[in-house]
Structure 1
């Protein structure tokens, strides 16, 4: 498996995505925005995704460890590394997780939350993701989306939305992400595909997948053509070019003018 990766910040703030690859593994993490709210942690989201990614890659170095078990182990180790922080805070640094790992003639995949793994089959495309977060607090979400991005009204509505959303995070009636407890690994989506049935695979944060799912500016076929012709960097360039036509979020309401964007593109 050959893997090409790219990650870029969506603006002047530090990149809260994390992407890495090894000969048989690709990982994308997308840190959850704090909207300026207290987290109870002195380290911050970029620290969290970097440490979770490193621990997950280390756990996956053992071939017979399942993706789910590796994630649980990584979550436990990261939590143990900053017990001095208030890990019970509902805003403790958190992230989505998307992983693929080749195991001989098979490809295992795992997603936790809405960073997708997209499989390009011989004739069609399969998107593996968990969109439970999209159904949470629709009224507050709509309030955010009625304002132009980067305005004072938008920022305040986003703070109210994120504050309320935190109360549903990692609860039975809400949605699940990687944070301070290995319990989150019990809520992943996992599956396996025979490599012979695949042309390629893209692991990405939603800062990239929105080109198809939210903007409707490309098809998955066009996404994979761009990845083959220009690599992950060219795909992120396409996302940024589309966003530049709507900088204030009027056509496509969103939380940021441009989100952090990461891709791992896997071919055989």
Structure 2
């Protein structure tokens, strides 16, 4: 397994994380709690990520849903967090063994493969009116002003009503059973020479700019991935600073990409 990664900004200033072991790559995309809490999002994703790594070290063949559930429980206990009052994170995990590959996705980080893209889009079905409202205003040229931020708060409040619920979406937060609702895929190593794991801050502008040809991305080195990240940031700054053509919550979202090559 050969891994190339890039993040923008670096982890010290980002809520994204990329973690690599001998057999697995994990990508996380943290989000702040919907209500004020004393635990920073960075602390949550670091604690959660370390628990995932420790869990894989202790039980290399643990089912990934069990691993994620265990790590949510351990993180919630360590940080004294409770459902609906905690930071959260997406999860994308790729792990290989002698017989094949296991993929796990929870939330809207994605794993691209030669066979298709695996991503959990359930959050897109929640708060559609609120999302349409802020996007329409961006399309009118108002940009990321205070009214935009008020509309985002309304969007987040509606999302909170449907988080980790059957009528909404599932995410790693403080409820271990959320892991039981992740997307799990098993595939052959023989037919899967590469994977690309990405947070939405990376793949959404790539998709908008038709740069999401994942077989090509899978050939890039870490230096080339970092250059791609900078190009995306430059486009956001110079070509679409107010979200006119690519409506989004803020000018720049944290970006993370991990390329895995097998064989």
In structure 1, what is the equivalent of residue 56 of structure 2?
Answer: 60
Deviation, 1:38, is: 2.5
Q: In the aligned structure 2, how far is the partner of 1:14 from the partner of 1:183?
A: 30
In structure 2, what is the equivalent of residue 82 of structure 1?
Answer: 79
Q: Is the 8 A contact 1:5 1:20 kept in 2?
A: no
Q: Is the 8 A contact 2:32 2:40 kept in 1?
A: no
Deviation, 1:224, is: 1.4
Q: In the aligned structure 2, how far is the partner of 1:212 from the partner of 1:223?
A: 12
Q: Flag the 1:33–1:220 CA change in 2: closer, same or farther, 3 A.
A: farther
Q: In the aligned structure 2, how far is the partner of 1:108 from the partner of 1:190?
A: 7
In structure 1, what is the equivalent of residue 247 of structure 2?
Answer: 253
Q: Flag the 1:235–1:199 CA change in 2: closer, same or farther, 3 A.
A: farther
- Residues 1:43 and 2:39 are matched in the alignment: yes
Secondary structure of the structure 2 residue equivalent to 1:28: strand
Q: Is the 8 A contact 1:149 1:255 kept in 2?
A: no
Q: Is the 8 A contact 1:2 1:23 kept in 2?
A: no
Secondary structure of the structure 1 residue equivalent to 2:220: helix
Q: Any runs of at least 4 consecutive aligned residues in structure 1 with deviations exceeding 3 A, and if so which? A: 228-231
Q: In the aligned structure 2, how far is the partner of 1:4 from the partner of 1:134?
A: 29
Q: In the aligned structure 1, how far is the partner of 2:230 from the partner of 2:98?
A: 34
TM-score by length of 2: 0.90
Q: Is the 8 A contact 2:4 2:221 kept in 1?
A: no
Comparing 195-204 and 222-231, the one that deviates more: 222-231
Q: Flag the 1:81–1:221 CA change in 2: closer, same or farther, 3 A.
A: closer
Secondary structure of the structure 2 residue equivalent to 1:60: helix
From 89, 102, 118, the counterpart of 2:112: 118
1:146-176 C-alpha deviation (Å, 9 max, x unpaired): 2344311111110111111111100110000
In structure 1, what is the equivalent of residue 120 of structure 2?
Answer: 130
In structure 2, what is the equivalent of residue 235 of structure 1?
Answer: 228
Deviation, 1:6, is: 2.1
In structure 2, what is the equivalent of residue 20 of structure 1?
Answer: 19
Q: Where do 5+ consecutive residues of structure 2 fail to align?
A: none
Q: In the aligned structure 2, how far is the partner of 1:163 from the partner of 1:63?
A: 38
Q: Flag the 1:267–1:17 CA change in 2: closer, same or farther, 3 A.
A: same
TM-score by length of 1: 0.88
Q: Is the 8 A contact 1:227 1:235 kept in 2?
A: no
In structure 2, what is the equivalent of residue 155 of structure 1?
Answer: 149
How many residues end up aligned between the 2 structures?
Answer: 255
Secondary structure of the structure 2 residue equivalent to 1:70: helix
Q: Is the 8 A contact 1:9 1:16 kept in 2?
A: no
Q: Flag the 1:52–1:229 CA change in 2: closer, same or farther, 3 A.
A: closer
Q: Flag the 1:149–1:50 CA change in 2: closer, same or farther, 3 A.
A: farther
Q: In the aligned structure 1, how far is the partner of 2:184 from the partner of 2:35?
A: 32
Secondary structure of the structure 2 residue equivalent to 1:192: strand
Q: Is the 8 A contact 1:9 1:261 kept in 2?
A: yes
Q: Is the 8 A contact 1:227 1:234 kept in 2?
A: no
